[in-house]
Structure formats: C-alpha cells, structure tokens
Chain A
Amino acid sequence: MTTAPRETTSPSSATPAIEVRHLTVSYGPVPALLDVSLSIPAGQLIGVIGPNGSGKSTLIKAILGFVRPVFGEVLIFGQPAERAKGRVAYVPQRGSVDWDFPVTVREVALMGRFGRVRWWREPSAEDYRAADEALEMVRMTPYRDRQIGQLSGGQQQRVFMARAMAQGADILLLDEPFSGVDAATERAILDVLERTKAGGRTLIVVHHDLATAAEYFDMIALVKQRLYAFGPTAAVLQADLLAEVYEGRLQAFAGLVRRGKEQSP
C-alpha cells in the first residue's frame, strides 16, 4: 500500500472529509457506538470492518445524518451531518434493492440529481448530461435503457456507483459492495472505486471479509462498538488486534488503540 501516514495528511491540509468526534449512539443501555472519534482525510479509500452487529451500520447511519447521537457529532467537511444532506452519496447493499422495480439504468443514475431538482420541475438537460457522464465513467452507457434487473451483479453495482457520482457528492458510502459477487466482478468494482478515488472523492466501504481488506483499502477503521483502530491498512490488520475484535479475547485495550493509530507504514 502506498498510503501516506495519517499524521502527514490530516492536520496541516484542508478540512477532513469526515470528522467524527466522541460519537456515542445508543438505543438502550448497551451503546451501538461508544466514544468513536476519527478523522477521515479526503481522497482516500477507507474500509470500515468489524464483525456482525459491531455498529458498522450505525456508523454509516450517523454519517448519513439519520441517527441522533447521545453524545458527540459528525461533521461533513466541517458541517453537521444533518445539514450536509446530499453531500454524502449512499450506495445500497445489493440485497436491499428491488431489482424488479420498473426503472431503467439511466433513470437510476438520474435519481442522483433529485436532490437538486425542485420536486415539481423536470430534470434539466444538464441533469441528464450529468447522469450520462456518470454512466460513461462506469462504462454502462451501452446499457442505459435496460431495466436494472437485466444486468449482471457487477453491472448493477456500477449503476449505483454512477448514481452516487451523478449526485455530485464528494463522499461515497458503499454498503457491502463486494458481498455475493464473483472474482471478476470484484475486480471490476474495485477498478471503478479506484477511478472514483482518483477523481478526488472519498470512499467509505463497509466490508466484512478480512482476507481481502488488505488489498482493497488505503486505510481501515476497525469497529466493534468502539473504534479499535483506525489507520493505514497494514497497521490495523494485525493478528492480535483482529483476534480481539473478532473472537472477543480480552487484551489490554488502551495500548492497542494507541498502536493502531500511531503506527506508520
């Protein structure tokens, strides 16, 4: 991985894309997220990993501004998440989409523009152009009049990437984009992610497969209720740390967090 260490990217350069400060979210006595702080620099490909029920989706919701934290805040380019609607584009999990819905590829891409089009207005020529450009970028132009159910898994994922890009968001949030796709599709999706990143966007990917995490991401946030580590991939993916998060082995936790955060490649 050719990632600059966090220390050189965040403090001096511009506002971080996402700043999470002491975030605690809870639906009862057991918090879903506990005192999570992290600062995600712009233009990076970030993996959020952790076991099932670890609070990954709560973190996603918090970044989208859907949950009201018990304490703490989420800032999107310095603005509270609730007021930054539309700056974060959400790419849903494949399983949560109704693929029989009567909607074409181009219409889905166009939905990215709905945040800007006044509800009673028709989308303008510019909106269509933005949608078409986004489709071109993910190489889906030849399929634009297809109904979305008539695409392969990788193509479906790319349509939603296009929608996020048409939205003009600087931050893309992807929910398990690699689940249930074959190796070739995985490659194709990763390729789109890389190119999107090259365009200066920040990508946050929820991911559960430890085996592939190392080669996909620049930085990883390891979450299980607390933030166990956030930093360059190699620093986070360490056997003892993962064992603790995934198998619940108790270890001196203060030291682990520090190590995860401070280690440079």
Chain B
Amino acid sequence: MNEWFDGVLAWHATHSHLVRAMLAGVLVAMVCGVTGCYIILRRMAFLGDAIAHAMLAGVVAGYLLMKGVFGLEANAPGMLVGSLVAGFVTVALVGFVSRLSRIKEDTAIGIMYTGVFAAGGLLASLFSSYIHLDLLHFVTGNVLAVEMVDLWMIAGVATFVLLVVILLFRPLQITSFDPVMAASLGIPVAALDYLLTTCTSLVVVSAVNIVGVILVVGFLVTPAATAYLVCDRLSRMLVVSACFAVSSFVLGFLASAWINVAPGSAVVVTSTLQFLVVLVIAPRYGLLSDWLRRRGAVPQRIVEDVLGCVLRDGSTATPIATVQAHVASAADQVQKALRGLQREGLLVVAGDAVTLTEAGQHEARRLLRAHRLWETYLERLGTPLTKLHDHAHDLEHVHDENAVDYLDDQLGHPLVDPHGAAIPEDFVHLTPGAEVPAALLREGHEATVVALGEAARGLALEVGLRLVAGPRRQDGKVWTFRLPAGRDLELSHEQADAVLVRLAKS
C-alpha cells in the first residue's frame, strides 16, 4: 500500500505538468461545451472568435502596465485582467456600432475585433524589446505549459460559468428561445445577454491557454454542434455537449502525447472528427438516417399510380398482379405503396386483390380529375395526341386543390377530355349545402341563388331563386339552367361564374 502510494507520488513529481494540463483541459472543455450551446443557439460564434482575437491587445497592455507600474515581468493576473478588459471593450464597441449605426452586427464585429487585434499587434511590435512574450504560445496554445495560477483561474471561471448556467437555466433558456416573450414576463433580457457575453469572454480567455486563439472557436462550437445533432432539449444538449468536449479533449490530448504533436490541434481535430461521425450516424438528424428514411419512403407518384390503376380497373376487387403490371415500378415499391395506402385507410388488401375504401375512391377520383384536366390543357396547347398521355401522367401529380381549380376555370370547366372520357365533376366543392359558382354545376344539379356578381347583373335572376342545371350547349361554352315556371336561361362562362348558388341538400 505504502509502496503504491510512493509510486504515485514519484510519478506525480515528474509528471505534475501532465496532471495540471489534464485537469485544466477537462475543466475548460466542460465549460466550453456548456457555453457553446448558447453560442450556437444564439448565433454568436463570430463574437466568440472576436473576443479571442481581441485578447491579444489586452495581454500586451496588461503586460506593459504591470511592468511599467510595478516592474513585474510577465505578470499572469495582469495579463488575464487585460485580456478580459479587451474582450469587454470589443463587445461594447460592437454593440455600440451596431446599435447606433446602420452597420449590421456581423460587420461591426469584423471591424472592431480586427481593429483591437491589430492594435495589440502594434503594441507588441512597438515594445518588442521591452516585453518577452511568446506570441506563438498565444496563437496555438500550449496546454502543457499551464501553471498553477492558470489552473486556479480556470477553476474559478469554471465554477462561475457552471453556477450561472445551472442557476439561471430557465431564464437563459427562455431569453435564447423567445426574447420578446421573456421580456413580457419581466425577465431582464438585456442583463442576461451581458451575463452570457461575460461568460463567453471568461471561457474564451481560459480556453486560449489550451488550444490557442485560432482554434478557440472550434473548441466552443464543435462539441455544442455535435450535441445539437442528437438532442431535442436544451438541458440534455448542455450535458451531452460537455461530454463531447471532455471526450475530445482527453482523446486528443492522449493522442498528441502518443504521437508527439501539438495538443491544441490534436484536440480540435478529434472534436471535428467526432462531429463528422455523429453527423453521419445521428439517429434523427444524421445523414445516414435521413438517407434510410428517404429510401424507405415510397415516392408519392407510385402511390398515386396505384390508386389510379385500381380506380380505372373499376371491378370490386382488383388483382394485385393487375396493379403490378400497370404501375411500372419495382415489385417491392408497389407492395410498400399498397401497405402504406392500407395504413392510411385508402384501400383494403384481401388476399391477392385490393379494393378501394370510400376515402380511397374519393382520392383516386380527385387524381383522375386532375389527370383529365391536364390532358385537356395539353390538348389546348397543341400537344400531339400521342404524347398527351405521358405528359398528363407527369402533370397529374400536380393536383393541389387550388391548382386544379385554376386549371378547371381557365379551361372553361370542360366536361370531357380529348379522348372523350368524362371529367369527373368538382366533387371537392360540390357538396350538398355548399356555396359554389353556378359554372361548377353539372346537368341535374339543383341549387338556390345566393348572390349575384357584377357580370350577372341584368340577368333574369334574383337571390333565392331555385334553378336546375341543364346540359351545356355549343361545345360546353354555354350553360343552360331551368328556372321555375318552365323558363330557360343561357349563361356564358363569365356569367355563370358570377352567380353564386347553394347546392340543394339531396
């Protein structure tokens, strides 16, 4: 026991920088993961990047101030406070510019952070003989160089940020999701925004130690984005994101020690790989499941072809073989379509034959009507008769109610298609008691006049009059109606459209 303990102590004495690095990295990863969730949900990624860069100016200014005033060389707390101040100044300048001018926020960030970053660079080169600062360390980070004071700072930041995120979970959730509603409840939205920006600055400043300025954004955003792909609620996303961040740090860090490369890069590469893997295999929002879903779904047009084929067959039970022969698609697709239609209650499969239900009849007739209207349309455009059916076959899948209504009206509510087949009446609108333009009526329909439009003025019609639709004349261009007392009435399309009638309930 004693021997083992001595062993641990001895290892620790020689490897204490590794332990410190590990501890610091895990803590930073955790808070980066958590803060990152809010950053991606509020689209603040660019701001995180800006804060990271602006730090340079703060570090240099802090260094110079501590050296000039107190004569301290590379004073860590001084540089830390400097970088925080620089972060806040940048955020304040961005807010100032974007709120008070017409410049949009992303542009304001672009202006201000490069400005502050460049000012830092200027200071650094002006006093290059005066300060001994490893700028490369700042740019790429070096987790192995973490000192005790850094570790304390990181622990402090982690405690603060985690406390904020846990205690203020609900206010932060609601202000991120719906700021207007939050404000209407009296929640201090602006104060929470500032608090979150403060947390971001703190997290960025501590993360620069680990992965450097350039990669900080990746460390903030990637684990959160990975979690976003697998989570449907914020509380879980926060936890999952922290786990992804910690795991990518630990794996990346160990790998970097193993193959002797820069730890910062190894960590961010690991986290990116992690993201890509999850992007592919995530259960709901992943590419793989998306592909599988699309593959599993039967194309709408096959479903519609099946319906149309059963309707046209007209018998009480259509053999599946007939459907298969008519629908030019793979057998398993047709089978899937049949199963889907049965699930939706549009048809019934009994043994080797299928029958349409009432709802199925309705749907199939709607499609048939669309098909025949499209054929009529194509014929009017001068499409050769031989190509008519094929084109109409494509177009019948455009059967949105409004589109079909428009087509029907434009064509003058035709009764037969170019092949001489009857176009079903507009049974979607022609339900008993419904109010429709008289132009939609077919021979035999009884209806009562409800209103008369501009084009129907001067006709021998009045509201409340009962009429019966007669046959169309002159190629369907003239509507005839039988009025009470044996009077007859002939209307043009325009006139018939202007007469609103209520269909009799029988």
Could you tell me which A residues sit within 8 Å of B by CB distance? 64-66, 85-86, 88-90, 92, 96-98, 101-104, 107-108, 111, 114-115, 117, 119-120, 123, 146-147, 163, 167
Contact = CB atoms under 8 A, between A and B. Distances in A.
B273 interface: no
Given A92-B178, A97-B178, A111-B174, A102 B237 contact: yes
Contact of A86 (B180, B185, B231): B185
Contacts of B182: 114
B41 interface: yes
Given A114-B170, A119-B167, A103 B234 contact: yes
Contact of B184 (A85, A108, A120): A85
A174 to B, nearest CB: 12
Contacts of A66: 183-184
B470 interface: no
* A-B pairs with lowest CB-CB distance, top 4: A85-B186, A115-B185, A147-B232, A90-B184
B233 interface: yes
A175 to B, nearest CB: 9
Given A97-B178, A114-B171, A117-B170, A104 B232 contact: yes
Contacts of A103: 173, 177, 232-234
Contacts of A117: 170
B81 interface: no
A184 to B, nearest CB: 11
Contacts of B180: 64, 90, 92, 96
Interface string B207-249: 0000000000000000000001001111011000000000000
Interface in B243-263: none
Interface range, B side? 20 to 34
B232 A119 contact: no
Interface in B81-134: none
Contacts of B187: 114-115
Contacts of A120: 167
Q: Is the interface of A mostly helix, strand, loop or mixed?
A: loop
A181 to B, nearest CB: 14
Interface of B: 41, 167-168, 170-171, 173-174, 176-178, 180-187, 228, 231-234, 236-237
B185 A107 contact: no
22 contacts: A66-B184, A85-B185, A86-B185, A89-B184, A90-B184, A101-B41, A102-B232, A103-B177, A103-B233, A104-B232, A107-B234, A111-B170, A111-B178, A111-B181, A114-B170, A114-B171, A114-B174, A114-B185, A119-B168, A119-B170, A146-B232, A163-B181
Contacts of A108: 177
A86 B233 contact: no
Contacts of A167: 185
A92 B168 CA distance: 23
A61 to B, nearest CB: 9
B306 to A, nearest CB: 25
A163 B237 CA distance: 22
Q: Is the interface of B mostly helix, strand, loop or mixed?
A: helix
Contacts of A86: 184-186
A6 to B, nearest CB: 27
Given A101-B41, A117-B170, A92 B232 contact: no
A92 B233 CA distance: 20
B255 to A, nearest CB: 30
Given A102-B228, A102-B234, A92 B173 contact: no
A107 B169 CA distance: 12
Given A111-B178, A114-B174, A104 B186 contact: no
A97 B41 CA distance: 12
Contacts of A123: 170
Nearest to B227: A102
B9 to A, nearest CB: 42
Nearest to B230: A102
Contact of A98 (B168, B177, B233): B177
B231 A119 contact: no
Nearest to B171: A119
Contact of A101 (B171, B177, B183): B177
Nearest to A173: B184
A113 to B, nearest CB: 9
A66 B176 CA distance: 18
B184 A107 contact: no
Given A98-B41, A114-B187, A107 B233 contact: yes
A111 B41 CA distance: 17
A117 B176 CA distance: 18
A88 B182 CA distance: 12
B230 to A, nearest CB: 10
A96 B178 CA distance: 9
A102 B168 contact: no
A84 to B, nearest CB: 10
Nearest to A66: B183
Contacts of B181: 89-90, 92, 111, 163
A104 B233 contact: yes
A114 B180 CA distance: 14
Nearest to A116: B185
A240 to B, nearest CB: 19
Contacts of A114: 170-171, 174, 182, 185, 187
A85 B189 CA distance: 13
Nearest to B170: A114
A18 B100 CA distance: 33
A88 B184 contact: yes
Contacts of A96: 180
Nearest to A88: B184
Contacts of B170: 111, 114, 117, 119, 123
A111 B173 CA distance: 9
Nearest to A107: B233
A105 B186 CA distance: 22
A107 B231 CA distance: 14
Contact of B177 (A64, A85, A90, A111): A111
A103 B184 CA distance: 20
A108 B171 CA distance: 13
Nearest to B42: A98
Contacts of B167: 119-120
Given A114-B170, A117-B170, A102 B185 contact: no
Most chain B CB inside 10 Å of its own CB: which residue of A85, A88, A101? A101
B179 to A, nearest CB: 10
A61 B283 CA distance: 41
A230 B236 CA distance: 48
A172 B368 CA distance: 46
Given A114-B171, A120-B167, 19 more contacts: A64-B183, A65-B184, A86-B185, A89-B181, A89-B184, A90-B180, A92-B178, A102-B41, A102-B231, A102-B232, A103-B173, A104-B232, A107-B234, A111-B181, A115-B186, A119-B168, A119-B170, A147-B232, A147-B233
Contacts of A85: 184-186
A123 B232 CA distance: 20
A64 B184 contact: yes
